[in-house]
Structure 1
Amino acid sequence: MSRLWRTLGVLILLSVFAPVAAAADVDLVKQRVAKVGVLRGDFTQEKQVTGFKNPLRSQGRFVLAQDHGVIWTTLKPFPSEVVVTRDRILSRQSDGSTRVELDAKQQPAMRSVNAIMFALMSGDAQALSAQFTVKVDALPNNGWKMQLSPRSAMLGKVFTGLKLSGDRYVREVEITEANQDVTRIHFASMSETPAALSAEEGGKFE
């Protein structure tokens, strides 16, 4: 995930902002997706690399805090943690060592990385439509799916398309890269409680 955020941050500076998606599309997702301060859940990630038979799999848990950022904790196959804030991306390894991967003081695009990452995980169609052409379909039981196509040629050199689907929450994200590698992320066991970060969670953003 950190590689994806890093790439997005660089390209956002180079891409051209375009008009947002059709209001009806944006409104549909706005009405169906929950707006919560803190959301916790589990994830499973599968990446199919071109030329390899078996996909790369990982799983773990996440904390999405609207006022702070995201804690992305991989449990399998190798423990690690990525913490994304407004100003930086931190990578923590299983031995407790920490490495600053991106710092907004050195790379101002970091602030845009945060915005795009939040938009993907929260299903914010309006934010995503600044960089992608957005098509939204309504599904039964308050469900929806969203297809994203890059607006700029520069962004198209990295992604050929993204797909999101969900209901009250984003449930699945599929990312197809220009080299045809495909990453699928499934979110489960989402919880809006407790509504505040624990002391341990809050400390990770400091």
Structure 2
Amino acid sequence: MNRFLRTLGVLLLLAVCAPAFAAPGADVDLVKQRVAKVGVLRGEFNQDKQVAGFKNPLRSQGRFVLAQDRGVIWTTLKPFPSEVVVTRDRILSRQRDGSSRVELDGRQQPAMRSVNAIMFALMSGDAQALSAQFVVKVEALPDNGWRMQLTPRSAMLAKVFSALSLSGDRYVREVQITEANQDVTRIHFAALSETPAQLSADEGRRFE
């Protein structure tokens, strides 16, 4: 299974287990003030997954499109071309050459609908949304930078995650997910752009 789909599976479990509680405060407000609110954000990613007991990490890289009103297109270019599209109602995984396709329908798995919001929160630095599932601690950094440390609120979440952290400035630059088994995924975002502000015709079709 695509590594990104595995990460989504962990996030789906988070969505199912998360308590309906939010505690916005001064720290959360700092991040809200510094992170850009954009309709469409494009960029590149490098992802390393360090599996406990293995010397070398699993590496992948590619590009993404985050559209606030549609979802996320996550296109892996290396080591194997593939694409995952996350919308409000489904997760679609496919090979770029069209040779295979896996679709998970949110109408059959209602909890999946929460994955969209969690993905947006991680990629857009939505501290208030993340505070529904985690205790959030924020550190202000120079040049309008920030770092968030996230600790699971519930014992059930703690069985999945040890900790999460995000850092950035106007945008989220890095996400680190430490699972309870000590596997660590680091995602670094680069070449981020808010333009063009609308999806292209091709990007729009890929959400369909």
TM-score, scaled to structure 2: 0.95
- Please tell me whether the aligned partners of residues 12 and 109 of structure 1 are also in contact (alpha carbons under 8 angstroms): yes
What amino acid is aligned across from residue 128 of structure 2 in structure 1? Q
Is the 2:22–2:128 Cα contact (8 Å) retained in structure 1?
Answer: no
Which string of whole-angstrom CA distances, capped at 9 and with x for unpartnered residues, describes residues 27-85 of structure 1? 10011000000000000000111111011111000000000000000000100000000
User: 1:6 touches 1:102 (CA, 8 Å); kept in 2?
Assistant: no
Task: Find the counterpart in structure 2 of residue 10 from structure 1.
Answer: 13
Q: Give the count of matched residue pairs.
A: 205
RMSD over equivalenced CA pairs, Å: 1.2
CA positional deviation for 1:156: 1.1
Structure 2 gap ranges (5+): none
Find the counterpart in structure 1 of residue 57 from structure 2: 55
Q: Name the counterpart of 2:155.
A: 153
What is the SS of the residue equivalent to 1:8?
A: helix
User: Are the equivalent residues in 2 in contact too, given 1:2–1:82 (CA < 8 A)?
Assistant: yes
* Distance across 2 between alignment mates of 1:113 and 1:154: 17
CA distance in structure 2 between the aligned counterparts of 1:67 and 1:185, rounded to whole angstroms: 23
Pairwise CA distance, 1:9: 1.9
**Matched residues, percent identical?**
79
Q: Deviations over 1:176-197 (max 9, x none)?
A: 0010000000000000000000
Deviation at 1:99, TM superposition (A): 2.8
**Partner SS state of residue 110, structure 2:** coil
Query: Aligned runs of 1:36-185 on 2, under 5 Å?
Result: 36-185=38-187
State how far apart, in whole Å, the 1-side matches of 2:42 and 2:14 are. Answer: 29
Unpaired runs of at least 5, structure 1: none
- Paired with 2:95 and 2:68, the residues of 1 have a C-alpha distance of 24
Return the letter of the residue paired with 1:195.
A
CA-CA distance at 1:111 after TM superposition:
1.2
State the distance in 2 between where 1:65 and 1:8 align.
Answer: 19
Q: Which moved more, 1:140-149 or 1:98-107?
A: 98-107
Alignment counterpart, residue 24 of structure 1, candidates 26, 30, 42: 26
Question: How far apart are 1:90 and its partner, in Å?
Answer: 0.2
Deviations 1:118-170 (A, max 9, x none): 00000000000000110001000000000001111111111100010000000
Structure 1 residue 11 displacement after superposition: 3.6
Q: Give distance in 2, aligned partners of 1:52 and 1:105.
A: 38
Opposite residue 27 of structure 1, the aligned amino acid is D
Q: 1:98: Cα distance to partner?
A: 4.8
SS of match in other structure, 2:129:
helix
> What is the rounded CA distance, in whole Å, between the counterparts of 1:55 and 1:43 in structure 2?
15
Q: In the aligned structure 2, how far is the partner of 1:68 from the partner of 1:97?
A: 25
What code does the residue aligned with 2:97 have? D
Which piece of structure 1 moves more, 150-159 or 181-190? 150-159
Q: CA deviation at 1:10?
A: 3.3
Whole-angstrom distance in 1 between the partners of 2:81 and 2:22: 41
Amino acid at match of 2:37: K
* Structure 2 Cα separation of the partners of residues 197 and 179 of structure 1: 39
**Matching residue's letter, 2:106:** A
